[in-house]
Structure 1
Amino acid sequence: MNSRVSFGIKNIFSLASRERCMTNFKRLTIPRYGKIPTDAGSVLVPVCKVGDKPSLLYTVRSTNLRTNSGEVSFPGGRTDQDESPVQTALRETYEEIGLPPDKIDVWGQGPPLPGRNNKIMITPVIGSIETLSHEDLTINVNEIAEVFTVPIEMLCESKNQFYTQFSNGFILPVFVIEEYKIWGITAYITHSFLSSVLTKDVYKNDWMKKKIVLDKVTDK
């Protein structure tokens, strides 16, 4: 009899899944290139239940922003003086989408990862909102154009999984969900979270071996 435990989507909010996730997430492989940036920031990886479906929440950055405008990202930003990564993630989430810290159950944080163009080290913080409704959100339109959620089961479907190779040689996963293209550091954190919380019989995205390239994704 096979006694191996399968960690699936339905029990993703359980204590066992949470502990498994953070044990694995803290062991993330950190892509490195060049000199380590001195600037720091963090993002929140919001795990939420929309209806009865465990989902991840993403934002679309405003086209008015000077950097990464119009791109899909997690809520987050630069760290203020003397802030911890968790404090930064919670503050930025509240400032961007109006979700208050007391609605978020923080699981923990992973290691800092180099952001785009290696200009900032970004610490991913995982937090859950077991039941999310539109009334919980107040979007700051100066920073955020849109908020959307993606059921985790859709991120696990191979038809939505791709990869891209950047001009610096890095190969990273890409997710395409309807009109949304999730790529760069946001896709890498998404993949790392799913790999940490779910077992391989549930999340099977072996993107390094697939050889499926999304040509539309380029390193600007």
Structure 2
Amino acid sequence: MCAKANSLEGLFNMATRQQCMTKIKRYPAVSLSKLRPDSEAVLVPLCRVDGIPSILYTVRSQHLWYNKGEIAFPGGVNNKKETLIETALRHTEEDIGLKPDKIDIWGNGPAFPGRDNKILVTPVIASVDRLTDADLNVNNKKVAEVFTVAIEVLCDPNNQFASNCDGFLLPVFAADKYIIRGLTAYITHVLLNCALSKDVYNNDILKRKKIMAPLK
């Protein structure tokens, strides 16, 4: 337990940060015809909550016209006049009130296909030291809820599942009442796979025996 705790705490040091971003950038970028690679960007916030290394997620509002009620990272459409990092920071502040000066940007990964392959989404990896409720001001028109999941929970094999999507197995994470799936789960998997050693996070999706049915 102590070795795992130390490894998780090491997430926030510069060596881990550099190693993580080097690995993430090796993931092949996906090119979808007729789509710009900068169509959307999301912020993937590693944070400490009461000293516990965690990842922040949002639940999308029921007022939105697509993916309502789903778990997602804060983010949205790039307006073509800003960088991907600026896009992620702008939407994060608009959606949950987390200000850019609280966010330490690590860099961005390659674009991944999202929303039925109709968009490309670029994850912007960042860390937030000592996140508290006072740092958030949720826009309820866009976000129904903000929550964090301890990374140790995500690393627990008992909380790891898979979902069959068009013949491909994708990761699914269970955390209390929350089921993290789709592109959000895949980005989570990529981040943990790049940031942590195999003895801490070893999630071989192809060997998952627990298949979770897709949402209807």
Q: TM-score range by the shorter chain?
A: over 0.9
Measured in 2, the distance between the counterparts of 1:186 and 1:179 equals 16
- Residue equivalent to 1:129: 128
* Matching residue of 1:68: 67
Per the alignment, do residues 29 and 210 of structure 1 end up closer, same or farther by CA in structure 2, a change over 3 Å counting? farther
Distance in 2 separating the partners of 1:127 and 1:116? 23
Give the drift of 1:71.
0.3
Aligned-pair Cα RMSD in Å: 1.5
**What is the CA distance between 1:37 and its match in structure 2?**
2.8
Q: Which consecutive unaligned segments of at least 5 residues does structure 2 have?
A: 1-5
Are the equivalent residues in 1 in contact too, given 2:30–2:111 (CA < 8 A)? no
TM-score after normalising by structure 2:
0.93
Residue of structure 2 equivalent to 1:4: none
1:183 partnered with 2:181 = yes
TM alignment of 1:10-49, pairs within 5 A? 10-30=9-29, 35=33, 37-38=35-36, 40-49=39-48
Q: Give the secondary structure class of the aligned counterpart of 1:9.
A: helix
Cα shift readout 1:36-84 (whole Å, capped 9, x = no counterpart):
6347000000000000100000000001111000000000000012211
- Where do 5+ consecutive residues of structure 1 fail to align? 1-6
Deviations 1:11-53 (A, max 9, x none): 1100111011101111124567x64634700000000000010
Q: What secondary structure sits across from 1:193 in the alignment?
A: helix
Dislocated runs of 4+, deviation >6 Å: none
Alpha-carbon contact 2:59-2:69 (below 8 Å) kept: yes
Measured after TM superposition, the shift of residue 212 of structure 1 is 1.8
Kindly report which structure 2 residues correspond to 1:1-220, keeping only aligned pairs within 5 A, or say none: 8-30=7-29, 35=33, 37-38=35-36, 40-166=39-165, 168-215=166-213, 217-218=214-215, 220=216
SS at match of 2:145: strand
Per-residue deviation at 1:130? 1.1
Give the Cα separation in 2 of the matches to 1:112 and 1:12. 23
Deviations 1:126-149 (A, max 9, x none): 011011000000000000000000
Aligned length: 210
Q: What is the DSSP-based 3-state SS (H/G/I as helix, E as strand, rest coil) of the residue aligned with 2:141?
A: coil
Do the aligned partners of 1:36 and 1:118 also contact (CA within 8 Å) in 2?
no
